[in-house]
Amino acid sequence: MMIATDTFTQFGRRMSSTQGYPYVVIADTPNPIRQLDPETLLARVEAMLPVIVEGLTQPPAEIERRLKDVAKKQIHPEGVVRSSVPV
């Protein structure tokens, strides 16, 4: 389970995949959050709660089934060629 702003969702998925967790459930909220008032932050948290609960309660096989296409697109975006040698 990961919580991030939408700016870091793809990066988080790629990093988790390097550790063997490409199908991590990510609850995200719009960026930025730094200067939000407590009421707005609470509303954002409440909006993410269904994803958080799902990520903590669904069987791994179901999570993988639901996220297989999403993970593929985020980890290896179509049309983006990456070097196999670090630059």
pLDDT digits (tens, 9 = 90+) for 22-78: 999 999 999 999 999 999 999 999 999 999 999 999 999 999 999 999 998 888 888
Q: Alpha-carbon distance 38 to 17, whole Å?
A: 33
**Has residue 23 been placed in a domain?**
yes
Q: Alpha-carbon distance 9 to 31, whole Å?
A: 11
**Quick check: helix, strand or coil at residue 82?**
coil
pTM of the model: 0.83
Q: How many domains does the chain have?
A: 1
- What domain range includes position 26? 2-75
**Has residue 82 been placed in a domain?**
no
**Quick check: helix, strand or coil at residue 23?**
coil
CB 63 within 8 A of CB 26: no
> Among 5, 19, 2, which Cα is nearest to 55's?
2
